[in-house]
Amino acid sequence: MADRPRIILDCDPGVDDAIAIITAARWTDLVAMTTVSGNVDLDKTTANALRIRDLMGLDVPVHRGAARPFAGEPFHARYVHGMSGLGDIDLPPPSVSPDSDDAVEVIVETTRKEEGLHLVPIGPLTNIALALRADPGIAQRVASITIMGGGASGGNVTAAAEFNIYVDPEAADEVFRAGAPLTMVGLNLTHQVRMDAGHADACRGFGHRVGDIAAQLIDHNVDVHALGGLPGSGAMHDPCAVLAVSHPEVIRSEHRHVVVEVEGRYTRGQTLVDERGRMSRDPNCRVAYEADADRALELILQAVREAPNA
């Protein structure tokens, strides 16, 4: 299809990662998927990326990446994504193994072969930071690094830190300081894009397997958010980062300087947005503030409805 953005999706599937893969398959040229330890361990995030690839019948390589953060122990979100990482949806195990165990090398080599790719990390930033360490020139070769992570107003793991940043603050700090064209699609944005039982019913109404699986994922997300005190709907975080690349008009953002706190007793993992220029540093990031939520939800549902192999 004409000039769809070409992306590498770095993910930790993950219920919302799975919806993001469906969204990316429809609205981008998905060059590769790379996996990272995050919502669940690396074996499971990789298996889940392969399971969704099988479901969609995608011809997209999946490469395993980092099994642990730069510092500390892996931290998972099974309380949100379930033991499998995809709730309890009825998907068979992967039909094949990942295409390689070297996600970092693939990111480096692919961005060397082709300038203008978008890196779209929707999990912890370990792979991206490792790739930038291996070849800092990535920062100048990519069209963007558009992350789901962080945020401009509080966290979801601690009062300050969002999960993807909290898991590996050191990696996030290196990515934010790399000088790449960075867009942060954080919790302040993604909580505007919420899916509920009506969206799940719409997906079931498409009458195909992808729709059924998407409905199960949305239902799981609603149930988990209800347990977390946000009844009725669930924020659909990761697809927002994909749409920020494929449909930039859906999101309003502002240039800001953003730093990642790696020390703070209460604030480790915070993405601190310098809203008033108090740090006298040039902006290093486009911070997403406002979503056209209706349009975003329409695009996500259309991606499910028109899924290949449906």
Q: CB under 5 to 8 A by kind: which of Ca ion, ligand RIB, none does 163 bind?
A: ligand RIB
Give the Cα separation of 271 and 258 in Å (integer): 6
Extract the tokens encoding 192: 């505007």
Q: Are 170 and 133 in contact (CB under 8 A)?
A: no
Nearest partner of 215 among 232, 233, 199, 194, judged by Cα:
199
39 contributes a contact to ligand RIB by CB under 6 A: yes
| Backbone CA torsion sign across 23, 25, 28, 31 | positive
Residue 138 gets the label, from left (phi > 0), alpha (psi -120 to 50) or beta, of alpha
* Smallest distance from ligand RIB to CB 192, Å: 14
Nearer to Ca ion, 162 or 238 (CB): 238
Give the distance from CA 304 to its chain's centroid.
17
Q: CB under 5 to 8 A by kind: which of ligand RIB, Ca ion, none does 87 bind?
A: none
User: Segment contacting ligand RIB (CB under 6 A): 92-100, 110-118, 158-166, 299-307?
Assistant: 158-166
Nearer to ligand RIB, 162 or 168 (CB): 162
14 contributes a contact to Ca ion by CB under 5 A: yes
Which of 10, 16, 170, 212: binder of ligand RIB (CB under 6 A)? Answer: 16
Q: Are 251 and 240 in contact (CB under 8 A)?
A: yes
Nearer to Ca ion, 147 or 213 (CB): 147
Tell me, residue by residue from 96 to 125, as one string, x for binding to Ca ion by CB under 5 A and - for no binding. Answer: --------------------------xx--
* Smallest distance from Ca ion to CB 236, Å: 11
Give the Cα separation of 88 and 241 in Å (integer): 25
Give the Cα separation of 233 and 79 in Å (integer): 17
Judging by beta carbons within 10 Å of its beta carbon (0-12, 13-18, 19+), is residue 48 exposed, middle or buried? buried
Residue tagged active-site, from 76, 220, 237, 257: 237
Cβ count near 23 (within 10 Å) = 30
Which of 23, 32, 37, 38: binder of ligand RIB (CB under 6 A)? Answer: 38
Question: Residue 237 catalytic?
Answer: yes
Which of 9, 10, 17, 304: binder of Ca ion (CB under 5 A)? Answer: 17
Site residues (vs Ca ion, CB under 5 A):
12, 14, 17, 122-123, 238
Residues assigned a catalytic role: 237
| Residue ranges in contact with ligand RIB by CB under 6 A | 12, 14, 16-17, 38-39, 77, 122-123, 148, 156, 162-164, 237-238
